[in-house]
Amino acid sequence: MRRIKLTVAYDGTNYCGWQIQPNGITIEEVLNKAITALTGTETTVIGASRTDSGVHALGNVAVFDTGSRIPAERFSYALNQRLPKDILIVKSEEVPLDWHPRYQDSLKTYEYHIINSRLQLPTQRLYHYFVGFELDVERMREGAACLLGEHDFASFCCIRTNAKTTVRKITDLQIHRQGDEIVIRVTGNGFLYNMVRIIAGILIRVGRGFYEPEKVKEILDGRERTREAVTAPAQGLFLVEIAYGAPEEQIVFRRAEDADIPAVMRMMDAAVSGLPNPDWFAVDDEETVRRHVEKEGFILLAEHVCGNSKEPAAFLIVRFPGKAEDNLGTYLELSEEDMSSVAHLETAVVAEKFRGRKLQYQLFLEAQELLEGGPYKYLMATVHPENKYSLYNMEKLGCKKAAAAIKYGGKQRLVMWKELGGGEFNAVNC
């Protein structure tokens, strides 16, 4: 007896979902009949994801046991001769007899496809959800940010769920627009019934302006399905891929070296360009950044490591006590004596994919470990004045004051500072 794994693609339009049911034909039923006819033995497949009626797939997974001598890789060719044109076996391969498609560590990726235009072409109607009013993708991205990570998604599933737990982890959530098509792409370690369609439905409402982006977190924190958690139609949803044995992902912290400076500059540019007023923020040039690495302190780098791949995710510039710019102490109303007891942090600048206060706070904590040996009367940090997450994290770390260097009128700079824990930024010209 052998166990054969199938990677299955299908157009879900004419099917009542994956799982066999009495009220209509399903993908599972068609596969069972085709395999039984091929092998001559009554066969039942076990599916990885039980997609709903009308949902499509590019890479669902199923297994079946057989005593047939047909080579594992030939099952795909033989079955495709017996299957209707809207179901395709992309790949067939042998796996251990105890390998189960639902009980292996895996990451599932779904896409929800939207046509956002005044008119929808007839050829798009079966594979997209049509929205005739303009959707603001930036608002949708802002609302989606809170869904990343591990959360209780009880608000994002049907009321009578059979799941043992409603906690799931979303590892990536991206929203792209190309012309009239908007694609919401979500990857996670598992999804509840209707979860992706509810995510899409809520984000569409955010994009139309019915909800503010903060509403998404409010619904998530409610942990209860309400009318606000609307479900988008099935035809826009695609199960793209199920990746088994996915490499472990982790964030690794290390001191930056000279070779890392170009990556630091790229992250700085990416972060500043995403600010509400990017022209305000005064960015260090490469020479200044190099000085931080070689003389005045160090740059703490956070790398996203996944398998053999490494991607710079964030950085934190740290100046040693007494190495901060001389005039910065004047702006912060510190005496010369105070300045010798200051550790100066420049707040983490995080690439788009990794923005969020958890990673930033980890950087602050790592820096604090490396700065042990004070005492430091003050920890001060440079931050954009509209970045509330940075201010919050700096207060937790023990920073006393925050400074912001803002450009105006060409090369002139306006330095602003505030006491952390209260008050507003005060401006000092320079």
DSSP assignment letter at 52: P
* Residue 67 Cα distances to 1, 3, 44, 47, 97, angstroms: 5, 9, 13, 19, 12
Count other Cβ atoms within 10 Å, centred on residue 61.
25
Count other Cβ atoms within 10 Å, centred on residue 346.
22
Q: Which helix (H) or strand (E) holds 121?
A: none
Q: Give 96: exposed, middle or buried? Use CB within 10 Å, 0-12, 13-18, 19+.
A: exposed
Instruction: Tell me the backbone φ, ψ of residue 35, rounded to 5 degrees.
Output: -70, -40
Hey, which bits of 260-419 come out as E strands?
Answer: 297-306, 309-319, 342-350, 378-382, 401-407, 413-419
Q: Is 382 helix (H, G, I), strand (E, B) or coil?
A: strand
Q: Which of 412, 425, 352 is nearest to 382 (CA)?
A: 425
Catalytic residue among 52, 65, 86, 284: 52
For this structure, is 326 an active site residue?
Answer: no
Do the beta carbons of residue 49 and residue 10 sit within 8 Å? no
Give the catalytic positions in this structure: 52
